[in-house]
Amino acid sequence: MGKQQCYQSLFQSTGDNNVAFGFQAGKKLTSGQNNVFIGYDADAGTPKTFQQTLLFGAGAVGVEIIWVLIGNDNIESTFFKRKSLF
C-alpha cells in the first residue's frame, strides 16, 4: 500500500465501499460507492462521483460510471490470455 493511498476515496468522500491501492489513488473521488482504484494516481476524472468503477494502472483516469479501465493513454496494446468476451 502506498503513502496517502485511499486519501479521498476512504476518508474524505461521502461514498461507501471504496478501495484504493497506490500513492494518491482515488484522491479526487468526492462520492460514490463500490469503486476500486489500483495504481499510482489511479483516479476519478469527471464526474468525480463514481459507482462500480474499476481503474487499474498508473495514471488511469475514469470518465464513466459502471466502467472498467485498464491502463492509461500511454498503453499501446492490451492482451488477454485465452478467450475473452471482448
Angstrom distance (rounded) from CA 69 to CA 80: 14
With a cut of 80, say whether residue 46 has pLDDT above it. Answer: no
Mean pLDDT for the stretch of residues 71-78: 77
Angstrom distance (rounded) from CA 82 to CA 27: 35
Three-state SS for 3? Answer: coil
Q: Residue 48: phi, psi to the nearest 5?
A: -90, 10
User: What pTM, to 2 d.p., does this model score?
Assistant: 0.75
* pLDDT tens per residue, range 23-40: 888 888 888 889 899 989
Cα separation values, 55 from 2, 12, 73, 77, Å:
16, 19, 13, 17
How high is the pLDDT of residue 21?
Answer: 87
